[in-house]
Each structure stands twice: as structure tokens, then as C-alpha cells.
Structure 1
């Protein structure tokens, strides 16, 4: 329980750091725009001044509000104080809206107590079956090492309590059995699912990091370029020369609903993508190295609410973590490329040539081709000199006449 509390504190601490980072980005952007004259136009990367004095005044008041929030957050950070609700803040707030949640008070109490009832233990390599506290044998027998004050309740030797029920793993059961038979560290967590009225024993373990391979080896059979969007992944296979092969593919997901639903949708889409890549005989995937953590603030994009919702809905961080772990399990390499101009140049130079009477190429499909070619080192723009896609100053060079 002490370790679980510490882990929860660590998660809240990281969220607090991200919150402070977002406040600092918003404060910096507000100060920049307030320092500019009214109506001054901005550039592609930096917004200009505010349109009217009324808007300038409203943003100056918001700057004072963000500065106050930042000061309070910094004070909590220095004191090591975080806001943690054991059981979850969302479930706590549901207590005040039972009618909307279609729950009675006793039903809510069951969920609340279930979220606070758990037993977990980290694994220990070299110990019997990889865990001394919660031991699970290969045939599914579960025993718990009781603390000294409760040893009189033990029903097995050495102060252990053996559960009457046995467990069975349907997912990755062979890998789990190999670990426990080799006495490798395996962590367990016992928890109650109130909706199904069943107890579950979750097993988890860490896998060693995959060794890095050379880019030439990864691209020996071509590459699959993947363009990340708010509701789907657009993919196209390229041969070793950078030419699109076959037809593009799309893998859709729905990121509405709760966190578990969003995670399942993303995992399902990535599973379909990796299975298709394996059938193509390709061993490398090229994705954009996107990060919108400092680009979501309304202080930067102003009235562009739809654009802010679009980039906020793109699961860039979660997709990178999921894709790296799932691709490692399937022996597929992941190549992260610079996202600059991939969508623009892909639509400009590849969308029309790849469109036929029977195939309508979208902007996202063309961007997938641009991403794959950049991973292979080929120029994206047709007619551009080989070797580089950007100029020495980081801008797009002009197309030769």
C-alpha cells in the first residue's frame, strides 16, 4: 500500500510538472502578443498582436490569472504537495451527480470501495515463481504471504494463505508461464470489478529494451509511411526506391469516451496496422515525430478553436509509446522523421499523380508517402535536388525552374 501511494504521488507529480509547463507556455505567449502593437500581423510560426483594445484588455486580465495560477503551482511544487484522491477524482465527483450517472448511493459506494480495495506486489527475480508476496504457480494456484500479525490465519506452511480459486490467463499465457517457471520477476495486482462482480489477478512484467539496428538494415525491404490523424492512421507501402506500392490503407479509431475505451481503440488500430505490415513483408514503419504539448494553448492560436481541438485530439504521445512497445513484440522497426512540410509537399507533389479513375488519393495518403520517402532519405518534392529536403536555413528551397 505504501508503494502504491508513492506511485500515485509520482503520477500526480508528473502531471503537476506538465501543468506548470503549460502555464509557462501560455504566459510567455500572452506576454509576447501583449507587447506587440494592436493589429500587427504575425508569421507562420508566431502570432501577431491583438485585433482590438478590448481583446488586449481581456488578455491582460487572463495573463494576471495565469500568473496567479503559476505562482500557486510553483509553491505546491517546491513544497512537494500534490492533490491526490484515492479512488479517482472522477468517481468522487460522481457522488454529487448520481442521477446523471444512473447510480444509487449504495451502488456508488460499491464502486468507491472497489477502487480503494486492491493488493499488489512487485516481482523479484530469483524468488520462487518470480514473486515472494503473491505467488502464482504455473497451474494457477495463488498464495499470499501474510504479514506477521496475521500468520495465525495461514492455511499453508511458512505463513502463506492459499486461495481456493485458481487463475487462468488467456492472453500471453505462454510468455507468462515461461517467466514464472524461470523464476523471473512478475508483478501481480488483485482487484475487484464491481460491474462484473468478479475478482481479477493482473500480471505484468518488464521487457528488456530492443537493440537498435542500422537504418540500412531496417529499410532493406522498403518501408510503410504512416500519417497520424485525429481519427485514423493513413499508411502506404513504399519499395526500396521510394515508389508507392499497391493501394493506401486506413486504420480508424474513435477517441471519444473514457480512457480505457480510447486506449483499446488505439491498440486495435495499431494491431491492424502491424498485422498488415507483416503481410507486406516490410520490417520498418516511418512515423512523424509529432509533439503538440507546447502548441495547444489558446493563447497562441486564439480564436482557432477547431484547430486547437484537432491537435488536442491527436494521440501523439500515447501512440508513440504504444507503437514502440507493440512493434518491438513483432520485430518491426519504428523510424521517427521530421514532420516539417510532409502534409504540404505530399499533397502538392504526390496527391494528383497517385490519383486514378479507380483510386482517390487523399491528402493524408500523400502525406504517408512523403513520410516514407523522408525516412528513406529520398526527396519529397518532385524535381528537387537529392540529398536534402530543407534549405540550409531550415526553410523550404524553391523548386528549380
Structure 2
């Protein structure tokens, strides 16, 4: 199923964020990429991005012939991993799962995690060798997406609305995709004059835009499949933090994540109880059945609406023609699949990543009583801004002759 073309999508764009009265720079809309903005044809694993994973693992972790490993050259992600290990996952987790598959008993989790950023560099460098036409091979914007983004750019982006991506893609690769598919040129994505993270992606400096990316965060926990969405929830947190840093008023009232997969819905839910979520920030999600999942799959995860806290929407049939009765899906028909489903006021509250000292704590808090903290801190007590400022001063945490930026924490990359 796909988005309906304009004007039906355009006619409902305002419903994405005009659910409450807003003032300047009060709304952040974040988009998933694969299955939400773009569709992939069969054989996606053989396109530039898909092939870059195996190239990166082979180049960084299998470079020493003294390390016994399986030959993964020429193989694709589906050849090596089970569906749940890569569907809805982030690039960092996929890299580590591929590494474990290739190295077998020789796999060292701590060492592999310290090399994730180097593998992401290799991924980006691999994709950089391809032209825009080659990067776009096998992927295309979903019908109606370009028109919808043009409407956002024309009517809303300069009027209090920021737009960015929240995607498992490495940032530089996401930039290349958005440019190759003419999504960047719609003007909907909030452009940036300076790098927002720890590094610049050479050759794409003119394509900077707001977001939280797979290259920003990786928990390193590849055994827990819930990390597929919990890591993405951290990317939402990173994008919100960056949006606040761009604003002169800090008047952000709502973040809306648009996605097609269960991981998108659950990621947004995990952010509701995130310890760093600004006080009073309403979290919304717009579920679109434009990817591999049905509208029923998405509706079943949305849970109950809690006004001003958690406000999900589902696009009817994934078509974008109208919202179901122009209101939220009836809350009584929705029940959490994770947590205490017996309590009518309890929206889905999966385990929430608490990335301090590598601890992940379960959270089953009633959203109506959830403590909302305004303080924005990141691993080891550093703020996202502090991480970025250190990076701008070119102060790596450590050095490594094979990777100039040195091994980073496998938590927040910045």
C-alpha cells in the first residue's frame, strides 16, 4: 500500500501537528526513511547501502587473516541474518550482528563495539563511490511523498515547524539517499549550516539537515531484539535535543514521528518515558501502512491516547486520504502488547533504555504519572551539546592508528 497522491495527502498535512494551539518553533516532525518516505524493490540488499554492510565488516574486523572467520564476501544481509535481526534495526546493530556471524567464536563484543564507528566510515566511503543514479537504484519515493513534503516546506517549515529524519541509516548515507531521490530539494528537511554530530560526511556538507541517525547511537546489545526499537527511541531523543539547540525560544511542544513499522511505533512510545524528555513535551506518532506491515499491525501497537502525553494517529489504509473519522483510533479498541494491559490508562511502556553505565532498565510506568524531566543528559553525564562541542574542538576520547577518530563509546556518538 502507498500514500495517495496529492491533494489528499496535502489536505491532511496540517492534521499532523495542528492538534493543539502552537507558537513559534513548537513542533518537530521526524520521518523514518525506508518504507515511509521511500520504497525498496526486491533485491534491496544488493544496492549500494545494502552491500556496504558486508564491505564494512570485512574491511574492519576481518582484515587480520589470523582471525578465523567465515567468508562473507559476496553474501547479502538476508544470507547471513534472520529477518528480525535486520528488519526495523539500525545500521550499528546490523553491523555487529553481521560481525558476530562472520567471526563466530572469535567474536569479541567489546572490541567490535569499539570499531562500530570505523565500520560506519567504511559504509559511507563505499556508498560515496556511487553516483546519485546508482544510489537511487532500487529505491524510489512513495507516491504522494514529494508533494506532501513540498506542502510542508511551503506552508509550515518557516512557520514554527522543524522537520528531520529519525532513521537507522548512517547519516552520510541518509544524506546521499535524500539527495539522489530529490527529497532534500523539497526544502522540507530543516537544513543546517554546521555539522550536528561528531563528524562531517565528506562530500555532503551542502546536504546537512536535522535528524537522529544510526551513526549517532548504538547500544551494542545485539541479543535483545527490543533494542531494534529502543535504539531508535534514543535517536528520537537525540533529534529532539538537537532541535532544542537550534531554537532560540525552547518552546518545543510536540514531537511527531512518522513511520511504517512496529519499531517506529514502539520507538516513539519508549521516548514517552525517556528520562531526558523535556517536561511537557507531547509525543505523537503517525503510523502509515506503506511498508511491510498492515494497518492492523500498526493499530494494535498504538495503545490508548493520553491527551498531551501520547497521541497516536494511523492513516487509513496507509493511503493518507484521511484520518479514521478525523480523530485518534478509538482507544478502547487498542491494548498494549507489552506491559500491563489490564489497566485502561496504561499505554504501551516497553523497556526503556537508560544509557548510563550501560544499564538498561525496564519501565512499566503509567504514562499519566510518568515523571518528566527537563534536564537533558547523556551517557557519563555529558549533554549532547557537550559531546558535539568536544568534537568540534577535535578532542577524541582515544586514538587509534587505524581509525583517526579513535574508539568511541558504543552509546552516544554525537
TM-score by length of 1: 0.25
Larger Rg: 1
Q: Which has the higher contact order (CA 8 A, sep 6+)?
A: 2
TM-score by length of 2: 0.25
